[in-house]
Structure formats: structure tokens, C-alpha cells
Structure 1
């Protein structure tokens, strides 16, 4: 994995030095290149690089090539804000990225102060396009509400007379995810369905171990691990060593291929989660454009694309198409071109909802394949079985639900500047 990260860094450095005779449009990507979420950050960067290369070969955006600027967030909100300010000072017309919801929310507010758009590529907290939403932020990926609804459809009758134990990262994403899952699985009783919060970022090993020991002693039937990145991998390794998979079903609400790869197929086998996209989706459901993306990514990076890569790739194509519809890079014109826009790219239909700038799309419930299946697959890269697809219009919260949440937070029922 280290060699892969070094390779990505070299590619990105080489890419940034490419010059063009035409004045470029600069797009800033903020992503973690250090810390527990760095693998998701590098996936984002690779997806962005591929999109930029393709778009530039096709004439750029409005005749201008894209120049990709990048900055490390280390998954810290303050560093994310500084990164956005720096990229805008360097001339970025648009900003995108994140990997942690606190970073996305902070970055979006910073971009708005300078009348720039921010596109969240990996930010699952409801707040991103909910109580903290505004006109200058668009979220490409799914949110906790959609994740929780998809999981509730899968768990269904399993939850009858069963208990869930929650281990949750103590920041906006983790808290909103636990709250949403409790709502849709009818597990709001915190005495019956207990929880432990873990520090964010970088919970100590002893803290994760203590949380899992409490889960083991709880007689719960389902362990809900609302963690991401390296934190999730550490928790899964601990759970495996403690024999928790033999005692309870383990659910990872927001799963990525990088987490599954890092944990390993023996540890992952049978674990359930959700993804907004998986590289088998275009093949299983017949989406040629998504298949072309997978093949191009394989050729470029010699590995299958993960969902953060797909998100970053999609954002850049959506920026190009919106600018072409708007005829300019003007922020207000871009917002108008994006709001309510329906499209298909890497999966089934998606659209940018007008009232909250949430990208409405399908959520997939998946289960990690048996180790033997993974080891037999090409590049040992087919990690997940798709169990269920929840269409976006069934998963996304309604305007009434959205406006009620904003009202409780003292916000208006429309996006503010």
C-alpha cells in the first residue's frame, strides 16, 4: 500500500507540472494525504487525475484546459479551511474534495465567503447538505440518511428481538449516522441498544479495544461500527482477534474498497455495509459509461477504482457539463445549471436536488465475499457482493423532513448565501 501511495504522489506531482498554451481553469482538490483517511484521499486524487486527463484531451472546459491544484487536509477542519483559502489564492475557480464531513462543512463555508463553489466528494454527514447546507456547497455522494434507510431495508426482520451495539466516531458524520440508523431501525432506546463514542481523529488503540470489549459484554446481536479509514481497519482487526464475528453480525455502514483491502479478506468475510458505488455496479446493471471508467482506471493505475475515485471523477465531469450549459464559470450561473439537473454517468440516474444540493442516487447494500472467492478473482479485487439497491428517490429525505431539521437548528427552509 505504501508503494501505491508513493506512486500516486509522483503521478500527481508530474501531472501538476504539465503546461498548456491556453489559459487553464484551475480546480482545487483538498484531500488527506496523511492520517487515518489518507487512502481515501489518494483514491480521490486518482479519480480526479483521470477525469482531468480525459477532459483535457477532449478540449478542456469551454476551451480551457484544467489545471488541478491540490492541498492536504490531514482530515482536520482548520487545515481544510486553510487549504481552500490557499487554493483560491492560487486561482482556483472551483474547489472539491474532503474525506471527512467536518472538513467538507468547514471548507464549504470558507469557499462561500469567497463566492466559490465547493463540491464534497466524500462527506456522509446529514449536516453537509442539511443544517449546514448553503448555496455554495454541493454533495456528490450519499448521506447518512440514505445509508441508514438502505441498511434498514436489508436488516428488516433480522432486528426483531435483536440488539444493536454502536461504536461511533465522535464527530458530525459518526453522530448523524448513528442517529439515522437508530431512526430507521427503531433502535432509539439507548439502554437496550447501547453505544460508545470514540475520539476523532486518531482514537487510541486502547480506546477502540475498550469499546469492543463493552460490545462483547453487551449480549448484542449486531455490532454497528460507524468508523472510517484506518480507524475502521484497526477496529475490524481487533474484533477479529477477539472472536466477535462468531458472537454477532458486524455491520460497517459506510464501506470502501480501501478499507476492505487493508483489513484483508479473512477479516472482512461476511461483513455487511453500504457503498454509493462499486466497480462491479456498471457490469452487473449494464452501464457502459461506468464500464469505460473502470477500464480506463485499470489501465492508468493498475487497480480497480474505489467509490471516492468515482465521486471525484464524476464531480469534474459535472463541473464541465454545468459550465457548458451556463456558458461561463460564473458562480450564480453554475448554481443554476446544476440545480435540478438529471444525468447518468457511472451508474443509474442521478440528479442534483434544487432545494438542498444533495446528489440523489442509489445506495447499495453489500457483503464482503468469502476469502477464497476474493483470492480467485482477477487482481484479487472483487471484494463485495451487491445484496440490495435502494433507489435515490426512496432513500433521500423529503423537503418536509429536511426543512424540519433546519428549523430545529434555527435555519431557514431554503439555502442561504
Structure 2
């Protein structure tokens, strides 16, 4: 199977030339210092449709174009695979039906429709949507485009590995997110076919370690995953094809926690001005935890996609600013008479704090009679000012809510 996949990757590299972006491989001095290595970012968040998925979908459809044009294609997905198949179908003149869970956020549904696909909302979870996609394929003859457990799809994703070798021939380590396993199977196969000494490390969220557990047990294990910021890699299990390939070409797999994923997303925005989704940030999260990199190795982090919900992004930004002490939440109990709130706000102003949000409550059941509560979100120029402001408020007789 590995030899066949190697051949398909070389074919995909030729077929996709000029049809996809050959995405940049950028050196990051910041992350090199953090990871004690030479860190490079493979920017698949800048790929068409915002993720690597278009590579596999476009190669699959192009290679089977006669069937695809005659019968159409069908896929099940709630995210990047949906958009990859929809876009690829539109540029190849193919009818596409995408089955998405009924709970899929509207922005994802609309993005998929914008590429001309027929969207069918069915089921509460991916497994139910996939079952419906199989039914449609059997009833209509439409070609099923699986998100990962397909050699042609893996081959398309594997072109990333060939690009990395061209851009950084001396690469020593490549770190890749693991969902169903298609991306890392393709990349690792491409790398190992040309440079056996390069190590490939997979990364999973701690709440969804399906490949790590399966690898340890020597068989595919289905798990019940926990919710994660890296929702793009959340599956109950890897595929049978990807499991066999990963066992042969992937050197190790590590898991990372949610705080590290959030910090990675935040740092990519703050330091490199890149918007990366949770799944795409997994390799950097592993670097931040010290699970990869080190020893001045030339380490490539594959940032697999950039399609992140703006509400989620907003929360991560606030969380990151809070962790750095640049935004503080300050709660104050004050006497309920004119001028008291003004006195408290002057303390913040005198310390160059900028109030982003204020909630003034006089009627709460837990507030003593004759008092009010003020809850403030404050932007601060430096991290040491939060404690200074609280100390000054206490010195003036205000009670600080911890």
C-alpha cells in the first residue's frame, strides 16, 4: 500500500500544479526561541478554501473526472472537507452534494453553499451525516469523496510533504495534526520516500487521543472524544487504511491540552499575524509544551487550516490578553451613594487603565443594603498594574471581589 501511495503522491504533485497554492514555508525566530529549534511554519491556512483539504478533494475528483461529471460527487463533513469538495467540484464542473449535521453553524453551511454545492442537513453528528452520504452514493451512483480513508485523498494531502522537501531539503522533523489520519499519512509517506531520516510526529488533543490509544493497543480503538478547540480533528477513530500507513511511517504521536491550543492560536495572531484554527495550531501547541523541537532541530509545523469561528477567536484573544495581564477583570463593592463609583474609576484612570466594559449592580440579592457592586473589564498597559490598582482601591476602603 505504501508503494502505491508514493506513486499516487508523485502523480498528484503533477496534477495539482497550478490548481492549488504552493503555500509558503516561513521561518519563525519567535517560535524558534520558544522551542529551542529552527521552527518553520507550513502555511496551509493560506491554501484555497482556508485549509489543506482542497488538495485531496481536487486530486480525487480530477483523477475520476468522467465518473464525477456523469454522476456527481457526495461527501459528508461539517467543516473544511465540505468546502474543499465544494470548491473542487465547482472548478471541475461537477455537481456536489454535501451532507452536514443539522447542528452545523450557519457560517459553515453558507461557506459551502457559496461554492455551488447542494447542502443536505441530516443527523445530529458526523456518523449520521456520513451514513446519509453513503445512501445518496448508493442511490444515485455519485462518487463518494471520503475525508481521509482514501488513497487518492491521502495522495493529494501528501503533496505538502514534497513541497516541504523542496522548500527545506535539510528538514529534520515535521509535526502534523492527526484527525482521521489522511493528512499525516500522505505527508509522512512523501517525506519517507525521499528522505528516510526525517522524523514525522503526529499531534492530537488530549481529549481525543484515538490514534495514540490505537497505536498502543495495536488495533483501531473507537473513543468518545471530549469537546476541543481543535474541532477539525475530532473523530471517534482513525481509518483502517490510515491506521496501517501511520503505523509504518509516523515516528511518534503526542497529545496536547486545551490551554496550549488556545495559547498557540493567540501567539500565532500576536507574533506572526496569522489566523489559524484549533486543529491547525496543534503542532505549535506541541512545541510550546516541549513535546517536539529542541536540540536546534530544523522543525516544520504544519498549520493545516485557518477556518475558525470569529466568536471563538474573540474569546481566545480575551483569554490571551488576560493571561498576559493586558486585560483584567476587577470586581469592587462600594457604598451606594453619589461619587463612589467615580472615585474607583479615577484610580483606574490614574494608572492608565482603559475601561472596556462596566456593569453596575445595586439590586443583586448578595449585595449588602447600602452598597453596590461594580464589575469592570480593564485594558492595562503593563501586567503589574492590576495588582497596583487593587491595592490602591483597598487602601481607599473599597472591597475587592476575588
User: Could you say whether these structures have the same fold, taking a TM-score greater than 0.5 normalized by the shorter chain as the test?
Assistant: no
Q: TM-score, normalised by structure 2?
A: 0.28
